[in-house]
Amino acid sequence: MAQVTLKGNPVQVNGQLPQAGSKAPAFSLVAGNLSDVTLASFAGKRKVLNIFPSVDTPTCATSVRKFNAQANEVANTVVLCISADLPFAQARFCGAEGLENVQNLSTLRGAEFIENYGVAIADGPLKGLTARAVVVLDENDNVLHSELVKEIAEEPNYDAALAVLK
């Protein structure tokens, strides 16, 4: 179990984030059309998993915007924005913002993802949502970088996440 904070208050996070050098756990999440999408759906591509509680919070929205802006600069890479938001809300946000370089995935039917990626917030007001984290995978689903953001209200280290892909 890891500990992060939410506005300075301790929050427990169940599990352990996959670490650099390990193989990423398989997953199945929900796409915008309500279909199930697996890690294997992105075979042969490098993947940035931008994991966060909800696109309806300012920091989460900023992370989606920033990864969207930087996604075009990295070859053979897909940015997967993963949250508990329903696919409808994710699509509405990206449509309103004009964001086209990220793919939203919902944990709607993804309890296994939350557990296997060690991002389940176990207590506090965000219990049941995912902690803020970034996991970067190569074409073969090997973990190149991972960061569990220590303060949920802060942004991830974009430079460190993208540096392993350049």
Tokens of 34: 């309500």
Count other C-beta atoms under 10 Å from residue 122's C-beta.
16
Print pLDDT tens along the chain (166 aa).
899 999 999 999 999 999 999 999 999 999 999 999 999 999 999 999 999 998 877 775 777 778 877 866 788 998 898 999 898 887 777 666 666 767 889 999 999 999 999 999 999 999 999 999 999 999 999 999 999 999 999 999 999 999 999 8
Distance in angstroms (rounded) separating the CA atoms of residues 123 and 126: 7
Q: pTM of the entire structure?
A: 0.92
CB-neighbour burial class of residue 156 (10 A; exposed 0-12, middle 13-18, buried 19+) = buried
The pLDDT score that the predictor gives to residue 114 is 96
Distance in angstroms (rounded) separating the CA atoms of residues 114 and 83: 10
Q: Which of 93, 152, 143 is nearest to 123 (CA)?
A: 152
Distance in angstroms (rounded) separating the CA atoms of residues 111 and 66: 27
Catalytic residue of the set 30, 51, 60, 119: 60
Q: Is 81 a catalytic residue?
A: no
State which CATH number among 3.60.60.10, 3.30.930.10, 3.40.30.10, 3.90.1150.10 fits the domain covering 2-164: 3.40.30.10
Provide φ and ψ at 139, rounded to 5°: -65, -20
Count other C-beta atoms under 10 Å from residue 43's C-beta.
11
The pLDDT score that the predictor gives to residue 142 is 98
The pLDDT score that the predictor gives to residue 99 is 63
